[in-house]
Structures are given as C-alpha cells and as structure tokens.
Chains A and B, each alone.
Chain A
Amino acid sequence: MDEMTITLAQYTELNSMIKATIDGTEMFIPLDPANSHYAEILRQVEAGELTIADAD
C-alpha cells in the first residue's frame, strides 16, 4: 500500500551496504532481506525500476 521513492542507489566499498536516497533522505542500507528498505530495493530492481551502481 505504501511505496518508497528510491534513487541514487550505489554499493559502498566492500559491498557491505547500499547507499541510497529514500524519500529524500540519504541512507546506508544493509544487505538484509528483513530490512524493509533493502526488501523494497530488491523489489524495485526485480521490477526493472531501479539499478544499483557499483562501488567507487
């Protein structure tokens, strides 16, 4: 029912987290499927709505 707006997704160094802007706030998201942000990132990637850039 509620959808997040996610932009600028990029893996951090060591690929330990994803840095992304969610609903206007920059966050560091752990790669934990139980994390609601990561679950939504996975859903949007699967749907072709979001791409995660490689780490710098």
Chain B
Amino acid sequence: MTRARDIANLGNNTTNLETLDALYGDNVLTGRNLIINGSFTVAQRGTSATVTTGSAPLTVDRFSTTIANLDQASLTESQDSAVPSGQGFANSFKVVVGGTAETTLDGDETVYIRYQGIEGQDAQHLAFGTSSAKKTTLSFWVRSGVTGNYAVLMYTNNGIGGASPRSQTLTYTVNSADTWEYKTITFDGDGASGNALSNDTSAELQLYFSLAAGSNSTATDGTSWGAYAQGKFAYGQTANLIGTASAAFYITGVQLEVGDTATPFEHRSYGDELAKCQRYYYESGGTATNDWGQKGYQIASNYIANTLSHPVAMRAAPSVTKAGTFVTSAIAQPTPLGSSTTSWYWQAQKDGSSGAWTMYSNSSGKFTLESEL
C-alpha cells in the first residue's frame, strides 16, 4: 500500500495518526501544529535579551517573556542549544533568573512567557462558540530549576481590543529539577454561544505560560471556560521560578493541535518556519556590509522615494523602524513613509536637484517591519 493510500484510508483520527507515526515517522501529516516557531529555531531579533515589562518578542520569534511589578529579581531570555536528547530539536527558549531571588511574591507580581497569538482566521476549524467546539491539546518539553505546578492560560480575544475575553487555565507539574520532561495539556473547546472566534487577522487565541504569579493572578478558579478575570491568569500556579537565584526555565517542542491526544512534534524546515514568522516580523539589512543596495536617478524636486516588497504577505500593514546608519551617496538617511501588507516605501532628501543616488544597507543600517499580534 502506498503512503498516500494509507493516509487516505486512515483519515484524521488520533489513534490512526499514531499508527501512521509508527509506520512513517513523526512528520506524516503536516499542518497539525497551530504554533509557529515552537522549536525556537528562528530568532530574527537576536539571541539574548534582558526581559522587560513590554509584550513584544525580544529574541525568538512569536514568543516573549514579560515581567510585572518585580521588586528585586530580573530575568534574561535567550535562544539556547540545550534540548531534550533524541527528540530532534536544535534549540530551546531559556529564561534565567537574575538579581535577588524573591521567595515571597507580592500579589501583583507576575512572570510569564506569552505566545503572540493565533489569528482568528487560522482557528475557525476549532468551531468555538458552537456545540461542536473542538478540544485542543498542547504539548511541549520543559526543564526547570524549580519544581511544582505551572499554569498555562488559553485566552480568546473576541476581536481587536478584546471586548469580551474568555479563558481556561490548566496546569502541569515539573517533577524533577533541571530535568527535561514531556508535558501535555488538553483544553476544552469553548462552546458557549456568542463566543465564536472572529474570522480575521486579530489575536483570537493566545497562550500564556506562567513562571511565577502573585495572589492577584491565582485567586479565581479558571479551570473551566468563562469570562476572563485577572485572578484566573495563573490559577493553580505554585512554582515560583524567581524564588530561586539563577534558576533556569527551558521550553521547546511547543505544539497545539486539534483533539485530545498529543501527536509527535511537527518538525518544519527552517525556511518554512522563517516564512511563517516573517508574516509578523522581518528585518531588511543589518546583517552584512552592503547587504543590499538601491540606486536611481533623480530628475526633479529634492526628494527621492522607493518601494520594497515584503518577503511574504504580512498580517497587517507593518510598523517600520529604522536602526543604525545606511551607506548613502547624494541622499540623506531614509525615512519610512508608508506600508501595506505587501510592500512599504521610504523617502530621503536629495542633496541636489537631480543626479544619481545610491543607498546600501550594512551591518549597522537596517529596517525592521513588524505586524505582530
């Protein structure tokens, strides 16, 4: 029997998927994993950073670490090469405690890893808001210097601005310190009428992995789907990562899939993963001397402008940031002037009324384009 025939016969059934896995290895069906960069191979912004109160990714794409109201501890995050043996991973996401450990947390202190969100149009098959709402299973490898219960929040935004956010908070247990462990969590489908996920590009489905949480975030039972409240954010969390100096938390192989059974991690090529990440962020230039160049000839007025295409269609018109200094001839430094989901353009002042001009990126000059959720 051919592999294609096997797949057609067995269909979308988790038991059969396991059979397929045994027959053909762990990548027999692609497109199962709703998470982008779950193996942390892509880190366009850098490989190490000090964690801030902001929510934007600082190192690995699509994931960020956030701290709130810490008194003494600090954290750093990085793309790391520590991985569970024999699982086919090359990278993990690492968060390390710095500063002074806080063995007792104030009520408003929180530390968490945030997955930047799944677009509503990519989660319609979960059928939330209907009686057919699907369960989803989250699986991942984790290694932590602090044992105990850790909370994971699934949060639905219900449109831009999150007018009526809903959530379910479940937990997993780290049993042995500094040891890789495989975890699975199955979330219920949210079948409550009126809570369908918007069919658009907004962050309809989000995941938050708590690492430490004060009582303000653990006071309300959130184990069933319902209206979100701060007290549900990390309900059930007992582990306090920042209570131990230099404690490290690693995670990799993050997968979210439809159904109540975790299947093996869906490994994607670096190129595929990078393209998925570039829908939300990419950098143009900044990686090598004369990474790219543009040139032209100005025939009138004192400004020139140029349009560049994105490598992939972006989620929304991106915000543009200019960093460093470009190598230019006969023009001033460029300024972003417009963007869309497919392209963007910049302008620069010409140092004369006409004549040739050139601009090159280099190891300093670059643009970053961001349409994160």
What is the number of residues of chain B that contact chain A, defined by CB distance less than 8 Å? 32
Chain B 177-212: CB-based contact to A (< 8 A → 1; otherwise 0): 000000000000000000000001110000010000
- Checking A4, A5, A25, A35 against B317 with a beta-carbon cut-off of 8 angstroms, the contacting residue is A35
B55 to chain A, nearest CB (A): 3
Q: Determine whether the beta carbon of A2 is less than 8 Å from that of B114.
A: yes
Q: Determine whether the beta carbon of B315 is less than 8 Å from that of A34.
A: yes
**A23 CA to B114 CA in the complex, in Å?**
17
**A5 CA to B53 CA in the complex, in Å?**
10
- Could you say which residues of chain A place their CB within 8 Å of the CB of B77? none
Q: Determine whether the beta carbon of A33 is less than 8 Å from that of B160.
A: yes
The answer to whether the Cβ of A26 comes within 8 Å of any Cβ in the partner chain is: yes
The answer to whether the Cβ of B56 comes within 8 Å of any Cβ in the partner chain is: yes
A53 to chain B, nearest CB (A): 16
B283 to chain A, nearest CB (A): 14
Q: Determine whether the beta carbon of B321 is less than 8 Å from that of A30.
A: no
- Checking A5, A14, A17 against B339 with a beta-carbon cut-off of 8 angstroms, the contacting residue is A17
How many A-B residue pairs lie within 8 Å, measured between CB atoms?
Answer: 77
Q: Determine whether the beta carbon of A23 is less than 8 Å from that of B320.
A: no
- Could you say which residues of chain A place their CB within 8 Å of the CB of B370? 27, 37
**A34 CA to B159 CA in the complex, in Å?**
10
Residue of A nearest to B202 (CB): A34
Contact A32-B317, Cβ < 8 Å, known A1-B233, A17-B338? yes
Which of A5, A14, A35 has the most chain B CB atoms closer than 10 A to its own CB? A35
What is the number of residues of chain A that contact chain B, defined by CB distance less than 8 Å? 26
Residue of A nearest to B66 (CB): A2
Q: Determine whether the beta carbon of B372 is less than 8 Å from that of A30.
A: no
Q: Determine whether the beta carbon of B54 is less than 8 Å from that of A23.
A: yes
Contact A27-B320, Cβ < 8 Å, known A16-B337, A17-B338, A17-B339? yes
- Checking B114, B318, B335 against A30 with a beta-carbon cut-off of 8 angstroms, the contacting residue is B318
**A30 CA to B319 CA in the complex, in Å?**
6
The answer to whether the Cβ of A29 comes within 8 Å of any Cβ in the partner chain is: yes
The answer to whether the Cβ of A7 comes within 8 Å of any Cβ in the partner chain is: no
**A13 CA to B346 CA in the complex, in Å?**
12
The answer to whether the Cβ of B371 comes within 8 Å of any Cβ in the partner chain is: yes
A3 to chain B, nearest CB (A): 8
Contacts A14-B337, A16-B337, A28-B339 supplied; 18 other A-B pairs, CB < 8 Å: A2-B66, A4-B55, A17-B336, A17-B338, A22-B319, A23-B56, A25-B321, A30-B316, A30-B339, A33-B160, A34-B200, A34-B202, A34-B371, A35-B319, A36-B371, A36-B373, A37-B319, A38-B319
Task: Give residues in B with beta carbon < 8 Å to A.
Answer: 52, 54-56, 66, 114, 155, 160-161, 200-202, 208, 233, 315-322, 335-340, 370-373
